[in-house]
Structure 1
Amino acid sequence: MFHNLDSLIHQFSCVSLEEMNNVTLMNRVDTKLVINKTQLNSLLESIINDYEVLKINNNILMSYSSLYFDTKANKFYSDHHNGKNNRIKIRQRKYIESDLCFLEIKQKNGKGFTNKTRIPIKDFEVNLTNSSKEFIAKTTEKDFDLLPSLWNSFNRITLVSLKNKERVTIDLNVNYNINQVKKSFNNIVIIEVKQERFNRKSKIIKSLKTIKQNPFSISKYCIGMISLYNDIKYNVFKNKLLKINKIA
């Protein structure tokens, strides 16, 4: 699988990290979809002339590692589960090939837009530094008592549309762990289309529709929380988890 995938993604035209900065889309609409990894190659073949692929130091398949934070009562997870329109996710993310690490805050408003704010940090902070706490308080205008809630790692391909202001992330080999409990989703691919506003004429959206894959709203954070914690409420996500397992 990886050998064929590697050959295929190297057929795309490449875009550098500096060039991709024009499509950062920090304030955006995110559309998520989930497919089985066996469908990925044919999907990429169908869009090869419509997107460029991000290349950093000769790497296209990037490695990411994230550490999520939540309150002791798992407020951020619960807000998502309970359908709260205005909600927050806080994480540290390391971009392995770039050797960069950021503290990132994603805030979703009632209109479906996601605003992402971040600052560079030296490395993962299991215990948040004062400067990180200050950034979180200033950005969220809240005073949260935060604890590490979830480790997450995955590989990512990033595409940039040649026609629209649009980025696409394709995540493979999604793994979670916390407190020596682990869960892997190696047979699914999570696709996220990031746009200024939802555009159903997007080439990848149209290609996914031809294989009967429609938007599927669930976050990697929530998937991990459901998978690793036995004492959290997840009835709203139950059908979505069943669908993910069926796709896998």
Structure 2
Amino acid sequence: MLADRTRPAPVDVSGRAGVGLDEVVQEAANLTRVDRKYLVDRHLAESFLTLLPASFRVLTIDGRRTTSYSSVYFDTARLDACRDHVQRRRRRWKVRSRMYVEDRLCRFEVKTRDGRGVTQKQVAASHPDQHGLLGSDEAAFVTGTLRDHGVDVDVATLAPSMRVDYQRLTLADTAAALRVTLDWGVECSLDGGRVWVDEDWVLVETKGGLRPSPADALLGSLGARPRSFSKYVSAASLLREDIPDNDVRRLRGRQLHLQEAIA
């Protein structure tokens, strides 16, 4: 049973129109996209949503406007996926099992990134009881997907490495094929240690094409700047001394907090 980590949304979207899951899924059928991430304080996030065009509607499922996510990442013993990200390797990859907690919907996801900065995400349905497990069906899916994207990884070397839990609010401009997500209550667990994002900070992510979207322009006008930020990689770099990432370490004590494993 997944723990209840529900926390109230840090922003108010009560006056914004909703959009159904089917319409958002249809818009997201082509999952080739560029993701841009911004770590902002709650006040900037509130200003951003106030100014965001009304064409961005809030994803609403059974009257619920937020969703709890629980992800288990798979990596090698050396955390090669983390290292590829830190070293800015041309071809990067991530493998994870993701659970949409309230809906008991589970799927396996493989994300790859090419030299243009384009992210491709392939997904396969998985049974909720398989969350966090790499069964034979999941392993076959991962093997084929990585191979098709030119990534040479032996799936037999992958094991669960980190659990990441958070809440997400999604807004979509379906006519323009643009999305914005806001994540809060982020908690990451690895090897008995824990990293979490401060409650006064929100991770905003825009999902669109190669060119920055109007949402990116709005964030820039408010003083936010995109940054390379991965929940998985950021937490790993703080909890594992062998994963260097000086940019993330500068966030410790303000945006990010750390509780190391008890020896």
Asked whether the two chains share a fold, i.e. TM above 0.5, the reply is yes
Task: Check if 1:135 corresponds to 2:135.
Answer: no
Q: Does 1:118 align with 2:129?
A: no
Aligned to 1:199: 212
Task: Give the Å deviation of 1:224.
Answer: 1.7
* 1:1-248 correspondence to structure 2 within 5 Å: 2=8, 5=11, 8-24=12-28, 25-47=30-52, 49-123=54-128, 124-141=130-147, 142-144=153-155, 145-161=157-173, 164-185=176-197, 186-200=199-213, 202=214, 204-229=215-240, 231-234=241-244, 237-243=245-251, 246=254
TM-score (norm 1): 0.89
Measured at CA, do residues 162 and 143 of structure 1 come closer, stay the same or move farther in structure 2, by a change above 3 Å? closer
* CA shift in 2, pair 1:122/1:214, >3 Å: same
- Most deviating of 118-127 and 150-159: 118-127
190-199 or 41-50: which moved more? 41-50
Q: In 2, distance between residues paired with 1:4 and 1:35? A: 12
Identify if the C-alpha distance between structure 1 residues 245 and 215 changes in structure 2 by more than 3 Å, giving closer, same or farther. farther
Instruction: Tell me, in whole angstroms, the C-alpha distance in 1 between the residues paired with 2:40 and 2:122.
Output: 29
CA distance in 2, matches of 1:215, 1:105: 23
Whole-angstrom CA distance in 1 between matches of 2:105 and 2:234: 25
Match of 2:261 in 1: none
TM-score normalized by structure 2? Answer: 0.84
How high is the sequence identity, in percent, across the aligned residues? 25
CA distance in 2, matches of 1:3, 1:166: 21
**Mean Cα deviation higher: 165-174 or 41-50:** 41-50
Conserved 8 A contact 1:154-1:174: yes
5+ unaligned residues in a row in structure 1: which ranges? none
Number of equivalent positions: 241
Cα deviation, 1:161-191, whole Å, max 9, x if unaligned, reads 2652111111111101133322221332111
Give the CA RMSD over aligned residues: 2.1
Amino acid across the alignment from 1:221 = Y
